[in-house]
Chains A and B, each alone.
Chain A
Amino acid sequence: MQIIRSPKVYDVCIVGSGAGGGTTAKVLTEAGADVVMLEGGPMWDSATDSAMFAWNYESPTRGWGGDRKPFGVYDGCLGGWDIEGEPYTVGRGAWRWFRGRMLGGRTHHWGRISLRFGPDDFRRRSIDGLGDDWPVTYDEMKPYYDKLDSFVGIFGTNHARETGLHNEPDGVFQPPPAPRAHELLIKRACDRMKIPVVPSRLSILTQSINGRPACHYCGQCGRGCSTHSNFSSVSVMLPPALQTGRLTIVANAMAREVTVGADGLATGVSYIDTQSNTEHQIRARVVVLAASCCESARLLLNSKSTLFPDGLANSSGVVGRYLTDSTGLSVSGFVPTLLDTPRYNSDGTGGMHLYIPWWGDNAALGFPRGYHVELGGGFGMPGYGFSGGIHNFPMSQGGGYGASLKEEYRRYYGAFVNFAGRGEQVAREDCYCEIDPNVTDRWGIPVLRFNHTWSDHERLQAKHMQETFRSIITEMGGTPMGTMPGPNQDYGLAVGGLIIHEAGATRMGNDPKTSVLNSHCQAHDVKNLFVADGGPFVSQADKNLTWTIMALAWRTAEYLADERRKGSL
Chain B
Amino acid sequence: MSGINRRTMLTVLGTAPVAAAVSFTPGTVQAYVAARAQAAQPYQRRFFTDREDATIRALADMIIPRDGRSGSATDSGAHEFIDYIVAEQPDRQTPMRGGLVWLDSECRRRFDKAFLECADAERRQVLDDIAYPAKARPEMSHGVRFFTSLRDLVAAGFWSSRMGVDDLGYTGNRPTVWEGPPREVLEKLGLA
Contact = CB atoms under 8 A, between A and B. Distances in A.
Interface string B15-51: 0001001111111111110111011000000000000
Interface residues of B, number: 76
Q: What's the interface size class on A, roughly?
A: 35 or more
A53 interface: yes
Contacts of B178: 177-178, 215, 217, 348-349
Best-buried of A48, A51, A62, A213 by chain B (most CB within 10 Å): A62
A55 B181 contact: no
Interface stretch (A322-330, A375-383, A500-508, A512-520): A375-383
Given A213-B1, A345-B171, A57 B32 contact: no
Given A51-B29, A73-B29, A406 B65 contact: yes
Contacts of B180: 177-180
Given A345-B171, A381-B170, A388-B152, A58 B35 contact: yes
Nearest to B26: A42
Interface string B149-178: 001100111011110110111111111111
Nearest to B32: A59
Interface string B62-104: 1111010000000000001100110010000000000000000
A116 to B, nearest CB: 24
A153 B9 CA distance: 19
B88 A345 contact: no
Nearest to A217: B178
B191 interface: yes
Main secondary structure of the interface of A (DSSP, over half): loop
A178 B183 CA distance: 13
Given A73-B31, A346-B181, A405-B63, A399 B148 contact: yes
B10 interface: yes
Interface stretch (A2-10, A64-72, A194-202): A64-72
A387 B67 CA distance: 19
Contacts of B139: none
A487 interface: no
Nearest to B85: A61
A243 interface: no
Contact of B191 (A50, A54, A188, A383): A188
B185 interface: yes
Interface in B105-135: 127, 131-135
A389 B152 CA distance: 7
A219 B155 contact: no
A284 B162 CA distance: 54
B28 A78 contact: yes
Given A208-B1, A399-B148, A410-B168, A216 B175 contact: yes
B162 to A, nearest CB: 5
Nearest to A79: B27
A104 B192 CA distance: 42
Interface stretch (A390-398, A429-437, A551-559): A390-398
A74 B180 CA distance: 26
Nearest to A178: B180
B13 A216 contact: yes
A510 interface: no
Contacts of B29: 51, 69, 73-74
Nearest to A56: B160
Nearest to B21: A226
Nearest to A388: B152
A443 interface: no
Contacts of B1: 207-208, 213-214
Nearest to B8: A213
Given A390-B151, A398-B132, A381 B10 contact: no
Nearest to B76: A57
A337 B157 CA distance: 27
Given A62-B156, A341-B189, A382-B168, A406 B67 contact: yes
A267 to B, nearest CB: 32
A384 B164 CA distance: 12
A250 interface: no
B132 A60 contact: no
Best-buried of A188, A219, A401 by chain B (most CB within 10 Å): A401
Nearest to B157: A62
A48 B13 contact: no
Contacts of B54: none
Nearest to A400: B131
Best-buried of A58, A102, A397, A399 by chain B (most CB within 10 Å): A399
Nearest to B36: A58
A484 interface: no
A49 B18 contact: no
Contact of A214 (B6, B32, B67, B81): B6
B28 to A, nearest CB: 6
A349 B176 CA distance: 11
B181 A180 contact: yes
A42 B38 CA distance: 27
B148 A387 contact: no
23 contacts: A42-B25, A44-B28, A48-B22, A49-B25, A50-B22, A54-B32, A55-B165, A58-B32, A60-B35, A62-B156, A74-B29, A178-B179, A181-B186, A214-B6, A342-B185, A343-B171, A379-B168, A381-B170, A386-B155, A390-B151, A399-B148, A399-B151, A410-B168
Given A45-B25, A188-B191, A402-B62, 13 more contacts: A61-B88, A62-B160, A64-B88, A73-B31, A216-B9, A338-B189, A384-B156, A389-B152, A391-B132, A398-B134, A399-B134, A399-B151, A400-B131
